[in-house]
Structure 1
Amino acid sequence: MRIIGIDPGTAITGYGVVEKRGDRILFLDCGAITTPSTMEAPDRLKLIYEEFNKLVDQYQPQHAATERLFFNNNVTTGIPVGRALGVILLAISQRGLTWTEYTPTQVKSAVVGNGRADKKQVQFMVTRLLTLAETPKPDDAADALAIAICHSHSVKVATMIKRGVRG
C-alpha cells in the first residue's frame, strides 16, 4: 500500500511518499512544493494543486494523510494553510484516495512513542525508521513523512481491529 503524507502550506507544502509492505515501511520520495511569495494567492493554490496531482500520477498512492490544523494564538496565519489544505483535499477527492487526518500528538506518538516529542526527535526517528542516510529536508518533507508513517501504523491497527486480532 502506498501512502502520501502531506504537510500543507501556501509557501511550502511538504510531501512524503512511503510504501507499506507487511511490517516494513519503505521510503519512496519526499520533498516540497514551493510557491513564490510574488504570486497571487489563487495562482499559488493552482500551482499546489497541479504539482500535487503530478505526485499522485507519479506514485499512485492509495492513501493520503494530513496533520490536523491547529491554531494556537493567531488564526490569521492558519488561513493560508487552510487554503492549501483545501486544494489538496479537492485533488484527493477527485482521485478517489482515502484520506485520514491526524493530530500532531498522534503523529508524534506513532513516530517517536511520545506525543510531546520535539521536532528534532521526530526528524531523528523518521530518518531511523526509513533507514535514510540523512534527515529529510526541508523540515516540511520530514513532517510529511512522519504523517505517512503515522498512517501506516494506524492502518495496521485498524486492520487488526477489523479482523478481531488482539495485540
Structure 2
Amino acid sequence: MSIILGIDPGSRITGYGLIKKNKDKLIYINSGCIETKIKDFPMRLKIIYSKISDIINTFKPTDCAIEKVFIARNINSALKLSYASSAVIISAINHNLSIFEYSNTKIKLVVGGIGIAKKIHIQNMVRIILHLSDIPNQDAADALAVAITHSRIIIN
C-alpha cells in the first residue's frame, strides 16, 4: 500500500492531493490548495515549504509526484513556478520522500486519455477515477491527476 502526494506547484496557489493505492484500487484521502496571498515572494516560498511539510507530517505519504515546470511565454512566471516547485521538492526530500516529476502532457494522457485534454475533462476524470461526489477545484484536481498518473506509471 502506498500513499502518494500529488502536487501542482504555483507561486500563488499550489494544489495538493493525496491518494492511497492498495493493489489496483485508488482511494481518495485529501486535497486542497495552499494559497499565498502576500507580495513578499520569499515568504510565499516559505509558506509553501511549511504547508507541504505539515501535509507530509499529517498524512505520511511514501512518494511525492510533481507536475514538471514548463516554459511559459513569460519567463518570470516560469522562474517563479520553478521556485515554488523547488520549495515542494526540498520539503519532500527533507522528509525522505521519493520525488517523481511528470509533464502536463503525460498527466493529461494518463488521466484524460489524450495529451491535449481540457482542464474540465481532467477534473471530471479525477472525480470518476476517485469516485468523488463533486468535481474538485482546478488546482486540487490537477494535483490529484499528478498522483493518479504516478500510481499508474510507477507503483505496481
The match for 2:79 is 79
Judge conservation of contact 2:18–2:144 (CA < 8 Å) in 1: yes
Judge conservation of contact 2:72–2:78 (CA < 8 Å) in 1: no
1: CA distance, partners of 2:44 / 2:117: 32
Residue identity in the other structure for 1:20: K
2: CA distance, partners of 1:35 / 1:28: 23
Give 1:37 shift: 3.2
2: CA distance, partners of 1:69 / 1:129: 25
The match for 2:143 is 144
1: CA distance, partners of 2:120 / 2:101: 22
2: CA distance, partners of 1:50 / 1:135: 27
3-state SS, counterpart of residue 26 of structure 2 = strand
Q: Which runs of 5+ in 2 are unaligned?
A: none
3-state SS, counterpart of residue 47 of structure 1 = helix
1:5-154 aligned at under 5 Å gives the runs 5-38=6-39, 40-137=40-137, 139-154=138-153
Pair member with larger Rg: 1
Give 1:27 shift: 0.3
Identity percentage of aligned residues: 35
Residue identity in the other structure for 1:61: P
| Runs of 4+ displaced beyond 3 Å | none
The match for 1:163 is none
3-state SS, counterpart of residue 100 of structure 1 = strand
Q: Give CA-to-partner distance per residue, 1:89-125, whole Å, 9 cap, x none.
A: 1111111101110111110111111111111111110
Q: Under a length normalisation based on structure 2, what TM-score does the superposition of the two structures give?
A: 0.96
Residue identity in the other structure for 1:9: G
Give 1:8 shift: 0.7
1: CA distance, partners of 2:81 / 2:11: 6
2: CA distance, partners of 1:135 / 1:37: 28
The match for 1:162 is none
Judge conservation of contact 2:69–2:85 (CA < 8 Å) in 1: no
3-state SS, counterpart of residue 52 of structure 2 = helix
3-state SS, counterpart of residue 154 of structure 2 = helix
